[in-house]
Amino acid sequence: MTAAELVELLGGTVVTGPKMDSVVTGCYVSDLLSDVLSSSEKGQFWVTQHTHPNVVAVAAVKGLSAVLVVGGKTVAEDTVVRAGSEDVNIITSGLSAFEAAGRIYTLLEKEGVG
């Protein structure tokens, strides 16, 4: 499943999407940047409430398929600009992290991913 397909099924909104054809290999849920840096894996869909530019750096370094900002939060403009320059997909959703993770798990499990 691609990031674009997953976003469509979740009903998310693409804020920046230069690589929406990225293949999603799993999901990682965390608001601790150090945790994501140490434990996430390339291709995972990252669920967080963070909206500041540091999420872009973490996503780029780890090669994550996308950052899903949950809770209906608005992504800061400097984050959007940085994501565009670093080719990082950022999506927003009104879902809670719990609900988003559950839906992502169900969708990926149907695809045999994760």
Joined tokens for residue 51:
């909206």
| Residues 58 and 42: beta-carbon distance below 8 Å | no
d(CA 50, CA 19): 20
Q: Which domains does the chain have, with CATH numbers?
A: 3-110 (3.40.1390.20)
pTM of the model: 0.95
Average pLDDT over residues 95-105: 96
d(CA 76, CA 9): 25
113 pLDDT higher than 90 = no
